[in-house]
Amino acid sequence: MSETLFVVLFLVFAGPFAAYVVAALVLYLRPASKKLYPTFKNKHAFVAGGSLGLGRALALQLVAAGANVTIIAPFSDELQDAVQEAQASATPEHGAIHSIVADMRDAVSIQAAIHDAETHLGPIAILFTVAGKAVTAKLHDVSLDEHKHALDLNYFGTLNTVYAALPGMRARQRGSIVFIASGAALASYVGYAAYSPSKYAVRGLAECLHSELVGSGVSVHIAYPGQMDTPGYAIENVTKPAECKTIEANDTLHTPEAVATSILRDLQNGVYNMYCGDVMLRLLGSVSSGLMPRNNWALDVLMFPILVLTAWIVRTDWAKIVQKHRLDKTDSYQQA
């Protein structure tokens, strides 16, 4: 290759590459031009599933930021614990907190809860659909009723809540819906046959509403939390297949408080895809966002070829793990 040709080819490819690098850095470093929520003070936030784990962390941080918060859950004792924790550290700058016993799976119960919440604290500005349960097992280690229960709570519970709260937001032409999905709605593997489909359904609903509500004044967002140190996580590990535990051995275990902080920061900036401070989920989102808004399109373009190759390597590794457990006879079907 002649020196002239080399220089020409270098300029042809190096120029666009350098431009993408600069664009990626600019998009990453620049502050949001206009915050969706400069402050949460006096906003009414409705947290469905606000008594434990991530929902509780969101509620407490919102109250501390001056928001008025309604939390709902099916058990009154857990709700009262959350309310007492919020009130124990209350200051004049903190918002109010109101609790309602309600079951997201019951559309009538949720309708009544929305009415009760708005009667006490005014129109709902922000809706968080947090309640959910992870059932970790292989397909036939879970009964069909348990599969249906996962969909009933994780998807239809979310649908019921949005169905009840959205008409008011439409009428007021303002508001936000934050769907809490899971990293298992970006990619899934052995052990999540009863859980992941319900979270993919939540993701599908979020994408449909993001399109449907364009120009309505109602914004839609979706969060993909990874592994979190919650009471539910401890229960998951009891039934989690050995293969699943091996795949997740090096995953970061986040605190609900850290995840809540990340979600609220992204909400303030109007971010659609929220990866909850998890770098691996952020990279996974680069190859699985489809046609939805991207957090940094220039970075995604730069990383895409590398991430496609990485995805193949990871999938190959997962397959080897499953095969190894089968050969070692730790596969639950062989044990049965």
Query: CATH code at 95?
Result: 3.40.50.720
Query: Is the separation of the CB atoms in 86 and 169 below 8 Å?
Result: no
Number of domain units in the chain: 1
Separation of alpha carbons 336 and 332, rounded Å: 6
Paired with 177 in beta bridges are 127, 220
pLDDT tens figures, 192-215: 999 999 999 999 999 999 999 999
pLDDT at 22: 60
Average pLDDT for the chain: 89
Q: Which of 195, 224, 240, 275 is flagged as catalytic?
A: 195
30 within domain boundaries: no
Paired with 221 in beta bridges are 178
Q: What is the DSSP letter of 192?
A: B
Separation of alpha carbons 190 and 247, rounded Å: 9
11 within domain boundaries: no
Radius of gyration of the chain (CA): 22
pLDDT at 278: 92
Higher pLDDT, 315 or 299: 315
pLDDT at 4: 62
Confidence bin at 246 (pLDDT 50/70/90): very high
Q: How many CB atoms lie within 10 A of CB 167?
A: 10
Closest C-alpha to 266, from 248, 285, 287: 285
5 within domain boundaries: no
163 within domain boundaries: yes
Query: Is the separation of the CB atoms in 130 and 48 below 8 Å?
Result: yes
- pLDDT of 307 > 90? The answer is no
Confidence bin at 242 (pLDDT 50/70/90): very high
305 within domain boundaries: no
Residues 275-303 have a mean pLDDT of: 86
Separation of alpha carbons 109 and 141, rounded Å: 32
Domain span at 123: 37-297
318 within domain boundaries: no
Residue 240 known to be catalytic: no
The residue behind tokens 């959910």 is 132
Tokens, residue 140: 């036939």
pLDDT at 32: 54
109 within domain boundaries: yes
Residue 199 known to be catalytic: yes
Paired with 12 in beta bridges are none
Question: Which residues fall within 8 angstroms of residue 268, CB to CB, at 6 or more apart?
Answer: 32, 35, 36, 37, 38, 40
98 within domain boundaries: yes
Tokens, residue 144: 């069909």
Paired with 70 in beta bridges are 46, 98
Q: How many CB atoms lie within 10 A of CB 261?
A: 16
pLDDT tens figures, 165-200: 999 999 999 999 999 999 999 999 999 999 999 999
pLDDT at 336: 45
In this prediction the pTM is 0.88
Tokens, residue 208: 């449909």
Q: Which of 43, 138, 199, 240 is flagged as catalytic?
A: 199
pLDDT at 327: 86
Tokens, residue 277: 């401070």
Q: What is the DSSP letter of 31?
A: P
